[in-house]
């Protein structure tokens, strides 16, 4: 599935791909949002959804053979175990950082990330279909935590710092990607030891302005300040999370002033501008108990290009949760559970993207915004929706949504304000010919009604609400 953030809410395009994107997946697009390459942790694919020349068999070893060749569901080195960055100074070279795991049998069974590798892809080769120039190059050969591989722009605004916590250690390994390639830089030590078992379902993130680095795991929230010039951590804070869970995530608001932590059934917000960050923590969402074969709880977090934060679910379900106003303090941030319904079930993962827009660090100047809020309704919302009709329109009370044919599966019917905020949502069951929307309580004005069925968006129509 491809989300198009030119629209609010995002438009979903179904794209057939060449693999199953699961735990160790990563992808990157160009500046226009066109897909360049992606990986499932087993192989590297191009825009034709074929394995790139020499892009087979990354993360080689017994686990690759078992998971990629025998089972075929993709590699499972932990969430955030693959990361793609553009090489500074090049418009065609990309570095894929990827983590290899091994199975330790004695004295007890364990899963260990034994090394960080990189592969270099030239997307200008083969008429834009790409070629892998270097593959499975060892960058670091000591155990690190599960997943949690992330990056932030250097203070020069061109190069990249890549960081990962070491397993059972208070140390963090830093790597520098510049126009000469990727190399180990240094080790920084900060806070208590990290644990592998508590990190595979957690998350690490830098704030959009690069000032903060945070890790969430079953150990709690580790929050630090970061020096983009030296690649140095400081001002460590350990923040305990009530009912901490091994599965969850951490992300920052676009303003970099608020930190969000999802801990399985709870989302908390911390104010980084407060004199006591830990004391500022408040709960902004609690799992509402909704089930769809699985509990639709909270997972990893990702700031979208539309300035909303999205949360996946650690189960195979067709939903993403949405934090609509993450710059707002308290419940004004507007957490909407299952705010984005997908046409297919998502296999328990969410792509991780660092802030590609962050520029050089200039004292006294604010960094460029990491995202753009959609404030106008795009033209696509004005197109007729051939799959349904609305009447009466204008309406002052009940509005009927009538489908052109009985639904072949469940459909989500959502009303949006002109600002793209969902104001009313109902579900139409399989076989339904129509559904009634109770719009009497809504303020007068113009809304847009979107119907999303099993195969994607059926259409969007304008609805005028009268007093």
Q: Pairing between strand 411-416 and 445-453? A: antiparallel
Per DSSP, which regions of 166-308 are E strands?
171-178, 181-189, 203-206, 212-217, 220-227, 232-239, 249-252, 258-262, 266-271, 282-286, 301-303
The pTM of the full predicted model, rounded to 2 decimals, is 0.81
DSSP category for residue 53? B
Q: Which CATH number fits domain 379-465: 3.40.50.9100, 2.60.40.3080, 3.30.70.580, 3.40.1690.10?
A: 2.60.40.3080
Taking each continuous run of H as one helix and of E as one strand, the counts in the chain are: 1, 32
Distance CA 76, CA 64 (A): 9
Round to the nearest angstrom and report the end-to-end CA distance of the chain: 39
Nearest Cα to Cα of residue 128 among 35, 21, 4, 19: 35
Rg of the chain on CA atoms, in Å: 23
CA distance 30 to 27: 11
CA angle 237, 241, 245 (to 5 degrees): 125
pLDDT, residue 201, reads: 73
Looking at residue 377, what is its pLDDT?
45
Q: Are 149 and 206 in contact (CB under 8 A)?
A: no
- Ordered DSSP codes for 374-424: --S--GGGGS--TTEEEESSSBSSEEEEEESS--SS-EEEEEE-TTS-EEE
Q: Quickly count: other Cβ atoms within 10 Å of residue 183's Cβ.
A: 11
Are the C-beta atoms of residues 205 and 223 closer than 8 Å to each other? no
Is 286 in a helix, a strand, or coil? strand
Q: Which CATH architecture has domain 2-347?
A: 7 Propeller (2.130)
Q: What is the pLDDT of residues 170-228, one digit of tens each?
A: 999 999 999 999 999 999 999 998 765 555 678 999 999 999 999 999 889 999 999 99
**What kind and span of H or E run contains 63?**
helix 62-64
Cβ neighbours of 160 (radius 10 Å) = 24
Domain residue ranges of the chain, discontinuous segments joined by +: 2-347, 379-465
Tokens of 365: 């100047």
Could you tell me which residues come within 8 angstroms of residue 220 by beta carbon, excluding any fewer than 6 positions away?
238, 239, 240, 241, 244
Confidence (pLDDT) at 198 = 53
Q: Which residue has the tokens 């939903």?
A: 319
**CA-CA-CA-CA torsion sign (17, 116, 79, 187):** negative
For the record, the structure tokens of 182 come out as 């990727």
Residues of the chain with pLDDT under 50: 375-385
Q: What is the largest CA-CA distance in the chain?
A: 72
**2-347 and 379-465 share one CATH topology?**
no
């Amino acid at each position: 599935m491809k989300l198009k953030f030119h629209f609010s809410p995002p438009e979903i395009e179904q794209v057939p791909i060449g693999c199953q994107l699961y735990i160790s997946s990563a992808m990157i697009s160009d500046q226009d949002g066109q897909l360049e390459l992606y990986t499932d942790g087993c192989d590297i694919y191009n825009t034709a959804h074929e394995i790139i020349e020499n892009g087979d068999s990354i993360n080689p070893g017994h686990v690759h053979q078992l998971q990629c060749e025998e089972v075929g569901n993709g590699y499972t080195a932990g969430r955030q175990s693959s990361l793609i960055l553009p090489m500074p100074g090049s418009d065609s070279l990309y570095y894929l950082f990827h983590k290899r795991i091994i199975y330790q049998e004695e004295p007890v069974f364990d899963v260990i990330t034994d090394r960080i590798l990189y592969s270099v892809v030239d997307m200008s080769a083969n008429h834009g279909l790409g070629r892998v120039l270097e593959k499975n190059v060892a960058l670091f050969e000591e155990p690190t935590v599960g997943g949690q591989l992330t990056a932030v722009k250097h203070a020069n605004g061109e190069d990249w710092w890549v960081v990962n916590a070491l397993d059972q250690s208070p140390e963090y390994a830093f790597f520098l990607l510049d126009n000469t390639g990727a190399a180990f830089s240094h080790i920084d030590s900060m806070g208590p030891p990290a644990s592998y078992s508590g990190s595979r379902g957690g998350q690490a993130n830098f704030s959009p302005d690069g000032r903060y680095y945070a890790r969430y795991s079953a150990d709690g929230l580790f929050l630090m300040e970061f020096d983009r010039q030296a690649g140095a951590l400081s001002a460590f804070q350990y923040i305990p999370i009530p009912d901490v869970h091994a599965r969850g995530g951490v992300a920052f608001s676009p303003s970099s002033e608020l930190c969000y932590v999802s801990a399985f059934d709870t989302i908390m917000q911390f104010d980084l501008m407060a004199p006591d960050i830990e004391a500022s923590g408040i709960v902004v969402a609690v799992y509402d108990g909704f089930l769809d074969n699985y509990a639709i709880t909270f997972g990893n977090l990702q700031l979208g290009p539309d300035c909303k934060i999205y949360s996946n679910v650690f189960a195979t379900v067709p939903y993403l949760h949405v934090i609509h106003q993450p710059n707002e303090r308290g419940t004004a941030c507007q957490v909407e559970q299952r705010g984005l319904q997908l046409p297919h079930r998502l296999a328990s993962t969410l792509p991780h993207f660092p802030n590609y827009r962050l520029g050089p660090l200039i004292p006294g100047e604010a960094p460029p915004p990491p995202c753009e809020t959609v404030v106008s309704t795009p033209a696509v919302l004005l197109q007729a929706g051939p799959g349904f009709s609305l009447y009466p329109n204008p309406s002052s009370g009940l509005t009927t949504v009538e489908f052109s044919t009985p639904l072949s599966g469940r459909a989500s019917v959502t009303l949006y304000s002109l600002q793209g905020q969902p104001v009313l949502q109902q579900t139409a069951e399989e076989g339904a010919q129509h559904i009634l929307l109770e719009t009497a309580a809504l303020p007068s004005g113009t809304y847009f009604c979107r119907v999303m069925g099993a195969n994607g968006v059926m259409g969007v129509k304008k609805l005028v609400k009268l007093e």
